[in-house]
Amino acid sequence: MSLAFDPAVDFALLLAVLAIPLAGYTLQIFLRRKLPHGDKLLTAGMFVVMCLTVYFGAKGLHAAYSGERFFHHSSEAGLEFGWLYTAGTVPDSMNIVMGVLYDPLGAAMLAVVGIVSFCVHLFSIGYMHGDKRYPIFFANISLFTFAMLGLVLADNLLVLFIFWELMGAMSYLLIGHFSHDPSQPFFHRWATWASKKAFLTTRIGDVCLFIGIFMLWDHFHTLRFTELWEHARLAVVENGGAFPAWMTWAGLFVFGGTVGKSAQFPLHIWLPDAMAGPTPVSAMIHAATMVAAGVFLLGRMYPLLSPEVLSVVTMVGATTALFAATMGLVVYDLKAVLAYSTISQLGFMVAGVGLGGVVAGMFHMTTHAFFKACLFLSAGSVIHGCHHVQDMRVMGGLRKKMPITFACMLICTLAIAGVPFFAGFFSKDRIIQAAFLRVLDSRHFDGWSLYALIALSVAAALTAFYMFRLIFLTFYGEYRGNLEHHRFSESLARTGYEGPDPHEHAEPVVAIADHGHGHGEHGAHGHHEDAHHGHHAQPQVAHAAAPAHVAHAVHAHAEHGAHDAHGHEPHESPRVITIALAILALLGVFGGHFWLFEPHKVLHAHPWFEQLVTPASMYGEEVAHWMAPEPTGHELEHHEHLLHQSHNLALIVSSAVALLGIGLAFLFYIVRPDVPGRIVAALGQVYTVVRRKYYIDEFIDATVLRANWALTRLLKWLDENVVDGLVKLVARLNKLGGSFAAWFDKTFVDGAVNAVALASQVFGAAFRLVQTGRIQQYAAFAMGGALLTAAWLILA
């Protein structure tokens, strides 16, 4: 396979990329009883997909480095079809022509999805082993991958929306994976509730996006991205250089889709609860699929967003980044910390796009996918190793017990914290640079940019802080899982993790205790069945080959109480898990910049992503020039000065806040572990507000859900009284008519029928007399009749 582009071959391969996960899903769903190794098969298929997607990414990079235009549509290979007509190119205002778009952004995203999905598959072989619905899990996660790949390759907004919705459905199924396991009442209820919450919350965004699509169709009569960009440019030029008002509305509605899917304020509430699903699903949702889809949509639709929309985008993104980071500071559930960090990082991406740094936002989406997938899978490995405990208060000291997991998680934590040379640094630095560009440039300066700059810098510091809080709590200090309950409380007091009792409040909307705290309670008792004795002493591979105990640990942990109060030592996870972690950790280091291979370029050359994806390569020269005209003469000098200045400032600020956050975390959780408790005590009510997630769930509960309930009750009343009344009236009339008909039927119709029957009976009895069966007698009768007839004829 060469790196030159060949439409026929390459589009066939792209279709194979789509077809493999879909075929895997179909096989697994229909033949799972006949395929004993369906999981391995699907993982192998995903390996092929990963190779193909990486190949396509490499192809894009090759073209980018050699300066070729890299933007292909499947019509080059004759692959496109119409919504209403089979001939794809019928010029009709009702015909939506669909095809595959293969552009730099898509190539980068494709590689990310392929790699992360493969790692998640590999990880799941170890992690989900023994699960009751193991084959279904693999099938669903394959279809999830298919949906994301399809979304990336969609060449028009409608196809994108179809895959977008498919992804919503799959996330519903996967978050609710444990909801079909009635042996686990706690998981059962929480998973059911969380999957519904995720589905319905994102639905609000989806409806917004659909309205936006309608508006664009209504005005432009096309949904193909390339045409939309061009139409937007023309519409603005026709309107005298300003965006028409309707485009602002359409842009806001499209952004509504991102807010729902990418968990932006105020629709972020579904994402923390999405961890009710198995950990690999969380890795999938938080990294390469689902939340990335919303940011990806922003990247695709960027030329259509007016400055007003971009202000809103900036505001929402920066707010989300900051306030999710504050929530990340106070939770104890390992996965919840990561969930809030995802929301916060998504806020970075969205704000980056809003600030005009669309490339920076997309870049951060790419690097974030690598390290966030690694972080979630590492967290899964820790949870697996600690026998399904998720509360960080009962972890600690795992560094020596799980060295590989620790190394991977540390690398990716450095990456997400934005420490120089790790993947996250390069992309986060670009977003902060975009903010500086806006703030320093007097022509573009506005209040929101300044707000975003401050919010993002603070959020970056907080990110470094809470991520290292996670590392220190989980991997440093002493292992706290073996402690008796009262000693556990003491140790908490000693290390300063005192807050309001998490069991005081029930979860809003439905009364379910917070998952993480429930785990903490059970985890404190150390809950493992006897079958597990001795397993961790065996080699790691043997662990993977012992299905029963893992399954039991997944499903039965909440049932174990104090009677089983002997904690087990945590152990390193099986090799399939650590390999998946290592792949992603490697990308956590090099995913942003191949700095080890080109050390002289680190500070001044563009990272690979910026080589591949530029506004010109994404949207075409013309549109890119329209969005940001090339500066000339004096302006050019000014522009370069600004670029230089913002670059330096961003470099300093992002490194400084990262190191500040890490330093503070080190101070609070290693050097002076009593400080956090005192701070919490000093903050008092403020802490409670943050701990309770700013009461947003309660707020939505009190407003949206209450209103919905009231409306439902009203409709129920209307239904029972008005609609049912009408129906009953009609029924009564019908009954009346029916009884009359019945009387008529019995009297007249049946009477007539009976009379006919009686007559037949009488005649029959009479004719039976002459019916002797003797043919000669019959002949005689016939003869007699003939004679009589003849006689009558003659005599008459």
Partner 1 sequence: MGLGAYVAVSAALFALGLVAILARRNVIYILMGIEMILNAANINFVAFNRFGTMQLDGQMFAIFTIILAAAEAAVALAIVLNVFNLFDSVKPSEADLLRE
Q: Which residues bind partner 1 (CB under 8 A)?
A: 771-776, 779-780, 783
Is residue 270 within 8 A of residue 282, CB to CB? The reply is no
Orientation angle between helical segments 291-301 and 245-261, nearest 10 degrees = 160
Q: Select 681 or 779, whichever has its Cβ closest to partner 1.
A: 779
| Least separation in angstroms between CB 762 and partner 1 | 19
| Least separation in angstroms between CB 732 and partner 1 | 54
Q: Select 91 or 773, whichever has its Cβ closest to partner 1.
A: 773
Angle at 22 (CA atoms; ends 18, 28), nearest 5 degrees: 150
Is residue 467 within 8 A of residue 329, CB to CB? The reply is no
C-alpha dist (Å) from residue 538 to 397, 518, 532, 573:
21, 30, 11, 12
Q: Select 605 or 783, whichever has its Cβ closest to partner 1.
A: 783
| Least separation in angstroms between CB 777 and partner 1 | 9
Q: Select 37 or 774, whichever has its Cβ closest to partner 1.
A: 774
Q: Select 87 or 782, whichever has its Cβ closest to partner 1.
A: 782
Q: Select 685 or 776, whichever has its Cβ closest to partner 1.
A: 776
Q: Select 183 or 777, whichever has its Cβ closest to partner 1.
A: 777
**The CA-based dihedral angle spanning residues 484, 488, 491, 496, taken in that order and rounded to the nearest 10 degrees:** 180
Angle at 380 (CA atoms; ends 377, 385), nearest 5 degrees: 130
Is residue 364 within 8 A of residue 352, CB to CB? The reply is yes
Q: Select 493 or 786, whichever has its Cβ closest to partner 1.
A: 786
Close Cβ partners of 437 (under 8 Å, ≥ 6 residues apart): 355, 356, 357, 444, 642, 643, 646
| Least separation in angstroms between CB 795 and partner 1 | 20
Element of type H or E holding 101: strand 101-102
* Nearest one of 299, 314, 309 to 244, comparing CA atoms: 309
Tokens representing 14? 């792209």
| Least separation in angstroms between CB 773 and partner 1 | 3
| Least separation in angstroms between CB 781 and partner 1 | 11
Neighbours of 790 (CB within 10 A): 10
C-alpha span between 220 and 89 (Å, rounded): 17
| Least separation in angstroms between CB 745 and partner 1 | 36
Neighbours of 82 (CB within 10 A): 16
C-alpha dist (Å) from residue 744 to 737, 750, 757:
11, 9, 19
| Least separation in angstroms between CB 768 and partner 1 | 9
Q: Select 2 or 776, whichever has its Cβ closest to partner 1.
A: 776
Q: What SS3 string covers 322-385?
A: HHHHHHHCCCCEHHHHHHHHHHHHHHHHHHHHHCCCHHHHHHHHHHHHHHHHHHHHHHHHHHHH
Q: Select 537 or 793, whichever has its Cβ closest to partner 1.
A: 793
| Least separation in angstroms between CB 747 and partner 1 | 37
| Least separation in angstroms between CB 758 and partner 1 | 24
Element of type H or E holding 218: helix 185-220
Query: 97-99 and 101-102 as β-strands: parallel, antiparallel, unpaired?
Result: unpaired
Close Cβ partners of 33 (under 8 Å, ≥ 6 residues apart): none
| Least separation in angstroms between CB 766 and partner 1 | 15
C-alpha span between 468 and 460 (Å, rounded): 12
Q: Select 12 or 783, whichever has its Cβ closest to partner 1.
A: 783
Q: Select 245 or 788, whichever has its Cβ closest to partner 1.
A: 788
Q: Select 739 or 777, whichever has its Cβ closest to partner 1.
A: 777
| Least separation in angstroms between CB 787 and partner 1 | 11
| Least separation in angstroms between CB 783 and partner 1 | 7
**Percent of the chain as helix, strand, coil, to the nearest 5:** 75, 0, 25
Close Cβ partners of 37 (under 8 Å, ≥ 6 residues apart): none
C-alpha span between 261 and 170 (Å, rounded): 13
C-alpha span between 161 and 655 (Å, rounded): 38
Q: Select 538 or 777, whichever has its Cβ closest to partner 1.
A: 777
C-alpha span between 238 and 768 (Å, rounded): 101
Cα 9–chain centre separation: 31
Residue 715 CA neighbour count, 13 Å, CB half: 6
Q: Select 90 or 790, whichever has its Cβ closest to partner 1.
A: 790
| Least separation in angstroms between CB 784 and partner 1 | 10
| Least separation in angstroms between CB 789 and partner 1 | 15
In 386-446, which residue ranges form alpha helices assigned H by DSSP? 398-401, 403-417, 423-440
| Least separation in angstroms between CB 728 and partner 1 | 58
* 633-657 burial code (b ≥16 CB/10 A, e <16): eeeeeebeebeeebbebbbebbbeb
Q: What SS3 string covers 622-673?
A: HHHHHHCCCCCHHHHHHHHHHHHHHHHHHHHHHHHHHHHHHHHHHHHHHHCC
Tokens representing 189? 């209820």
Q: Select 766 or 775, whichever has its Cβ closest to partner 1.
A: 775
| Least separation in angstroms between CB 790 and partner 1 | 12
At 598 the three-state DSSP class reads coil
Q: Select 712 or 771, whichever has its Cβ closest to partner 1.
A: 771
| Least separation in angstroms between CB 779 and partner 1 | 6
Tokens representing 355? 């600030």
Please give the backbone phi and psi of residue 598, each rounded to the nearest 5 degrees, phi first: -140, 65
Query: 101-102 and 80-82 as β-strands: parallel, antiparallel, unpaired?
Result: unpaired
Q: Select 78 or 784, whichever has its Cβ closest to partner 1.
A: 784
* Amino acid at the residue 410: L
